[in-house]
Amino acid sequence: MLQLLKCYSERRCIWFFIALTGFCFLLIALYFQYILLISPCVLCIYQRCAFLGLIGASLLAAIYPKSLLRHLGILLWIYSAAKGLQFAWEQVKIQSDPSPFHSCVLLMDFPSWLSLDKWLPFLFAPYSDCASQQWQLMSLDMAQCLIGIFAIYLFIGGIILISQFVKPGRHHLS
């Protein structure tokens, strides 16, 4: 199984598929923002950045998946998924115990050389408080759903990372 995963990780189509899933989640976020009129908070924007990290990691690995770029892409993928999970978890904590002493900031904290909220405000500007729960699916709010999504990305990334240390067997696919 791990040999098969390693073999698949050396193919571009898998990396493009992972980038496509991240892109779809960004489109869903924009659908929620502009069609359903659910305003994003600071932590929502940071989670969007985590999806951008997943997309970037996948495209980096897709450049030449049989090289060291694949390993760099996997590490960036795991980091992005872990950060997305961290932000989603923080948002759930804020929503489960709303308090003026435990809330998120209202302004983005991007570095000055990467002011995404000023360059692309339609995608990266926050308009809401992190404590507000504006949407639910089967009694799960958006942040809880994102915990599951980022956990799946993290789990798959971890398995793919482990598979990189497996030596190919006799049935190695080319």
For residue 13, indicate whether it is catalytic: no
Q: Strand locations in the chain, DSSP E?
A: 136-137, 140-141
> Which residue in 7, 44, 49, 70 is the catalytic one?
44
Per-residue pLDDT of the chain (174 residues; tens, 9 = 90+): 777 666 666 778 888 999 999 999 999 999 988 998 888 888 888 999 999 999 999 998 888 877 778 889 889 999 999 999 999 998 888 878 766 666 677 667 777 787 777 787 777 777 777 666 676 667 778 888 899 999 999 998 988 888 787 776 655 555
Note the pLDDT of residue 84: 95
Note the pLDDT of residue 75: 92
Note the pLDDT of residue 100: 65
> Which residue in 7, 49, 70, 104 is the catalytic one?
104
Note the pLDDT of residue 117: 72
For residue 44, indicate whether it is catalytic: yes
> Which residue in 7, 49, 70, 130 is the catalytic one?
130
For residue 130, indicate whether it is catalytic: yes
112 CB-contact burial (10 Å; exposed 0-12 / middle 13-18 / buried 19+): exposed
> Which residue in 12, 13, 48, 49 is the catalytic one?
48
What are the residues whose beta carbons fall under 8 Å from the beta carbon of 100, sequence distance 6 or more? none
User: What distance in Å separates the CA atoms of residue 3 and residue 111, rounded to the nearest whole number?
Assistant: 40
- Tell me the domains of the chain and their CATH numbers: 2-105+117-163 (1.20.1550.10)
